[in-house]
Structure 1
Amino acid sequence: MSASPKSRRRVLVGVSAVATLSLGVGVAAGSRITSPEDAAAKTAAPKASQITVPVEKKALSSKVVARGDTSFDGAVNLRVETSGLQTAAIVTGKVPTVGSTIREGKALLEITGRPVIGLAGVLPMYRTLSPGSKGPDVLQLEQTLNRLGFDPGTVDSKYDSGTAAAIEKLYESAGYDAPTADERLTQAVDSEKKNVDGMKNALRQAQAALRQAKAGPGKGDTSVQQGAVDDAQANLDDAESALAEARFKAGTPLPVSEVVFVKTLPRRVDDVKVERGGTVNGVVMSVSGASLVVTIKVDAQTKERLKAGMAASFDLGDGTIVQATVRRITRNADQYDVVVAPKSLTPAQLERLREANVRVTIPVKSTNGKVLAVPIAALSAGPDGSSRVEVLRDGKVELIAVTVGLSADGYAQVSPTGDTKLSEGDQVVVGK
């Protein structure tokens, strides 16, 4: 029995559907099958390509940047030597306030009613000076007096009557009576005066005896009387010399307890260690210079790049830049203190910077205008040790020999050597 046409069509449709489905499954399965070569290609690292940056034209400046603390320059503790006083060293007046200024030639304190005058000098006041004293401290004193306009006569290392007269003027200017000599010296003057008076009386008697001998009958030999006059005159001369010496030694002295030498003046009072009615025992006050400075610390290698007189600047924190100068560099253990002084400050800036910490910049070296510059990472060394850069041109890398100049902020100044060319905008390789 044969199938009908309608039945045959159903079979054909079913076979076709199965074939189509099988084809789809085969394609899907085939798309998931990967050969070993394809798998390796897909997991391999991408082909390396050069990382480049353009050659720039810029000014370079090498600098030292550090943070530092502000202070008033030259802070010192002031001590008054009171060992020479006959009474207790009681503070009786002129006690300064913190923030006040002590000035040269003026009293900075009163002890037992006497002034302690501040003078500028590097040698400390370690002894009482008086007529007859000699030494470098006397020379310093006379130089100071002369500078202040109190003429001491010849400026040398000898304390003489001219020095004493200048001391009297110093005290008068400060508003005080000049010091007086020790009582033993004034007593010696009185004693020598009496001796002179006695010698004068002896001379008058000898002269009277000589006149009487000359007026006598026969005008005999008067050599004895003349000898007595000569002896009396010599004795008077000696007595007058002794009186002059006694008066010289009793001239105006400078007591060790009435002067303090400070390296420079004026100075600001930072701290006061005494009070009125108290006893002086050691440091009486701490003072500092009138100029504010910033101190940064650097290592030995950085120190070699710096020197006094170099330009500097520091940031006030609000964008204001203050121009400054390196004042000095001193060793401090295994580091160095670099002291930077501003050229000028307003009163408001001065107050703001008191005991502040600021950022200091000291330019060390700079190029003369704009130069060709590349990142330091672009530099490499050739077989002979020379420097070179890799320039990417038209897809190819070209080695360009260069001379390296100043390096700063991650860049180096370069200039091509020989016939090679390097221009602003050229792409140099810095990595792959």
Structure 2
Amino acid sequence: MGSRITSPEDAAARTAPPMRSQITAPVAKMALSSRIVGRGDASFDGAVNIRVETSGLTTPPIVTGKVPAVGSMITEGKALLEITGRPVIGLAGVLPMYRTLTPGSKGPDVLQLEQTLDRLGLDPGTVDDEYDTDTSRAVERLYEKAGYDAPEPDGRLTQAVDAAKAQVDTARNRLRQARAQLDAAKDANVRDTSVQQGAVDDAEENLVDAQEADGEAKFKASTPLPVSEIAYVKTLPRRVDEVKVERGGTVDGVVMSASGASLVVTLKVDAQTAQRLKAGMAATLDLGEGTPIAAKVRRITKNGNQYDVVVAPNRLTPSQLALLRDANVRVTIPVRSTSGKVLAVPVAALSSGSDGGSRVEVLRNGEADLVPVIVGLSADGFAQVAPKGNAELSEGEQVVVGR
């Protein structure tokens, strides 16, 4: 029993903590990269609402066909919908269609139309702000390319053309009669034919006036562009996100929403983080499967108290596109990096000297040696260091990170 009895002093000695020792880590040589990591939601870029102005229609705006499916693409110059049997053609432009354009119309909307027609290779003539005969013919080619008949002019304008043509025919007949009377007077050796000549001159002037009126009537009756048959969207092509109408239904403003054809990932950051980012920075997208996808920061916009960072992949395979669609994605954006491998120590190894400079404690031959250092980039718990002045620090040496 005596061999099993322990004094309080012995028990305390056996359970006492060991002598404190220094915790060290080696000086490493590595490439450091400071980065911002977060998660963002994938979506198609730049959603917009597409509306059709139907105030110019004389019948109810009933959807009769071409209703797109969600996920389909809207391309420029093609019908994105049919209303009362007529197409609504999608064109790229920032100014909405707000009136029917007819020959003789002038304004910035005409200029935008002619710029669009010219870009599509439809030859609107001189690109200016006036809707002329060349513009009208280019509009006809636009409809032909889309697979539809060109719009018809107002019935009153075609009636005016018929009336003007009749006036030309009448003026031409009167000129024929006046010339015949002048010729008859000359054949009869009438000395004074001034009356007959005056009648011919008047008839010729009347014919010129009638022909000019006929030309003007035909110009006004050339192909118009109805306000209800064009929908301008800022950029095309776009992907249909939501359809707000159905066949047989009535159009009332917005008919669909569409986003850009390119898929992007949007993550939210605070103001301090946003200041470290700029458009064009490289990034990577990681779904947790396979190789990360290379990307770039497209834009940074303020959204309330936060900032939206929009990141676009450089290139996507069909399988990657399928995985990314509507997914929540890990995004990594390097903001600084060292040029190659550098000396690095754990951040915990750094301390401040009496002069305010940084230093590390290096164990050499069992003794601690304080080495002043210049600190560079910090990332992932490590800091880039370089010995200051004549001090020395080498890869593999042990630095104290705790006790």
TM-score of the alignment, normalized to the shorter chain, above 0.5: yes
| Aligned twin of 2:359 | 388
Q: How does 1:393-408 map to 2 (within 5 A)?
A: 393-408=364-379
| 1:346 shift after superposition | 2.7
| Aligned twin of 2:148 | 176
- Checking the alignment, whether the CA contact within 8 Å between 2:182 and 2:193 is kept in structure 1 is no
1:252 aligns with 2:223: yes
TM-score, scaled to structure 2: 0.89
2 CA distance for matches of 1:33 and 1:142?
102
1:85 aligns with 2:60: no
| Aligned twin of 1:119 | 91
Q: Give the total of aligned pairs.
A: 399
| Aligned twin of 2:37 | 65
Q: Secondary structure at the match of 1:236?
A: helix
2 CA distance for matches of 1:151 and 1:422?
73
Q: Unaligned regions of 5+ residues in structure 2, if any?
A: none
| Aligned twin of 2:172 | 200
* Bigger-Rg structure (1/2): 1
Deviates more, 1:77-86 or 1:201-210: 201-210
| 1:288 shift after superposition | 2.2
| Aligned twin of 1:266 | 237
1:100 aligns with 2:72: yes
TM-score, scaled to structure 1: 0.83
Letter in 2 for 1:173: K
Q: How does 1:162-173 map to 2 (within 5 A)?
A: 162-173=134-145
- Checking the alignment, whether the CA contact within 8 Å between 1:78 and 1:283 is kept in structure 2 is yes
1 CA distance for matches of 2:96 and 2:381?
51
Q: Unaligned regions of 5+ residues in structure 1, if any?
A: 1-23
Letter in 1 for 2:312: A
2 CA distance for matches of 1:75 and 1:329?
16
- Checking the alignment, whether the CA contact within 8 Å between 1:299 and 1:336 is kept in structure 2 is yes
| 1:228 shift after superposition | 4.4
| Aligned twin of 2:339 | 368
Note the alpha carbon deviations across 1:143-176, whole angstroms, 9 max, x for none: 3222323222222322221111111112112221
| 1:48 shift after superposition | 6.1
Distance 1:250 1:431, change over 3 A: same
Distance 1:298 1:227, change over 3 A: farther
Q: How does 1:308-323 map to 2 (within 5 A)?
A: 308-323=279-294
2 CA distance for matches of 1:352 and 1:42?
61
Aligned Cα RMSD in Å? 2.9
- Checking the alignment, whether the CA contact within 8 Å between 1:152 and 1:163 is kept in structure 2 is yes
| Aligned twin of 2:256 | 285
- Checking the alignment, whether the CA contact within 8 Å between 2:66 and 2:79 is kept in structure 1 is yes
2 CA distance for matches of 1:238 and 1:404?
91
Distance 1:400 1:132, change over 3 A: farther
Letter in 2 for 1:62: S
- The percent of aligned pairs where both chains have the same amino acid is 72
| Aligned twin of 1:6 | none
| Aligned twin of 2:160 | 188
Q: Secondary structure at the match of 2:104?
A: coil
Letter in 2 for 1:145: L
| 1:86 shift after superposition | 0.3
Note the alpha carbon deviations across 1:283-340, whole angstroms, 9 max, x for none: 2122222222111111222222222222211112224311112222222122221111
2 CA distance for matches of 1:334 and 1:228?
85
